[in-house]
């Protein structure tokens, strides 16, 4: 990852999305750039235009936390964007744990320990699975494997939610709000790229998707990031029809970089009945069988 280019494109994209009215500035006339001018961001951050221009060129090395915070306020960054800016600054500075390449197990090297699979299997009312920041599904309960039957049905997806989203036509049926799902997927990958800039497997995935999908490439260039912790999504499953499910994403303390996601339906809703039907369907030969428990 070219950190200077990443910084430049991120700051430029954040500046371009803010209107003068949103920043409490007069809009004026004959503006030649979308959003704010560099001089306006510099004034809002209480720094010289020359210094801000240096930052926007990608020179974040040695920048103090106070300056980063002033920049975040001026650009109206949300929590995910602030964290992303800090990650970029740490990488540019060459200090901190985030800047050092970390030895990370690949999907094939990582296996769920027994107690984790037992925990997933104990969740029977909704799909539950563990994924990494590259959106590989690493472990799942039976209901999750039935829920993502389209993903598992295509070997080329390699149980990767991003590949499924952008390279598998079945995703357009599975996600009724496909554009929203695509935006979220790319924002998660962009966040992971800022957090782990030396992850070769992630770089390879981004390169593959950028080459094969115009939809992905356009979204990747937007530099949007997000914290994906809770919310509601709509799905259409081939066996049980429409489902509107709430989700909770939990970071795993014992496995840094991995998260546990659980989908649930509102009690008493038709979607709760849909999950019951899905559980019944999962028990038939038509659904993919759950992965065998690891031996150790």
Q: 237 CB contacts (<8 Å, ≥6 apart)?
A: 147, 149, 174, 243, 274, 278
CA–CA gap between residue 294 and residue 296 (Å, rounded): 5
What domains, with CATH codes, occur in the chain? 3-99 (1.10.260.40), 114-282 (3.30.450.180)
pTM: 0.85
Predicted pLDDT of residue 1 = 67
Predicted pLDDT of residue 114 = 86
Predicted pLDDT of residue 96 = 44
Q: What is the pLDDT of residues 114-173, one digit of tens each?
A: 899 999 999 999 999 999 999 999 999 999 999 999 999 988 888 999 999 999 999 999
Predicted pLDDT of residue 256 = 85
Predicted pLDDT of residue 194 = 92
Low-confidence ranges of the chain (pLDDT < 70): 1, 28-29, 95-110, 286-296
Predicted pLDDT of residue 29 = 64
Predicted pLDDT of residue 98 = 39
Strand partners, 185: none
CA–CA gap between residue 235 and residue 188 (Å, rounded): 19
């Amino acid at each position: 990852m070219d950190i200077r280019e990443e910084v430049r494109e991120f700051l430029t994209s954040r500046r371009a999305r803010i209107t003068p009215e949103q920043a409490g500035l007069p809009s004026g006339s004959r503006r030649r750039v979308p959003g704010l001018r560099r001089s306006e961001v510099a004034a809002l951050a209480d720094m010289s235009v020359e210094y801000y221009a240096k930052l926007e060129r990608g020179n974040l090395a040695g920048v103090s936390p106070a300056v980063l915070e002033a920049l975040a306020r001026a650009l109206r960054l949300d929590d995910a964007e602030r964290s992303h800016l800090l990650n970029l600054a740490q990488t540019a500075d060459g200090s901190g744990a985030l800047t050092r390449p970390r030895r990370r197990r690949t999907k094939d090297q990582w296996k769920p320990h027994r107690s984790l699979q037992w925990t997933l299997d104990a969740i029977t009312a909704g799909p539950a699975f563990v994924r990494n920041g590259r959106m590989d599904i690493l472990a799942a309960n039976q209901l999750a494997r039935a829920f993502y039957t389209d993903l598992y049905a295509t070997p080329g997806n390699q149980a990767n939610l991003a590949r499924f989203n952008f390279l598998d036509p079945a995703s357009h049926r599975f996600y009724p709000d496909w554009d929203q799902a695509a935006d979220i997927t790319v924002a998660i990958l962009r966040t992971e790229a800022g957090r782990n800039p030396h992850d070769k497997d992630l770089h390879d995935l981004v390169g593959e998707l950028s080459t094969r999908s115009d939809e992905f490439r356009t979204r990747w260039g937007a530099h949007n990031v997000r914290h994906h912790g809770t919310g509601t999504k709509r799905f259409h499953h081939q066996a049980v029809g429409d489902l509107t499910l709430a989700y909770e994403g939990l970071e795993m303390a014992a496995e840094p970089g991995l998260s546990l996601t659980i989908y649930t339906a509102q009690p008493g809703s038709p979607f709760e009945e849909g999950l019951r039907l899905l559980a019944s369907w999962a028990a038939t030969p038509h659904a993919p069988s759950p992965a065998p428990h690891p031996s150790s």
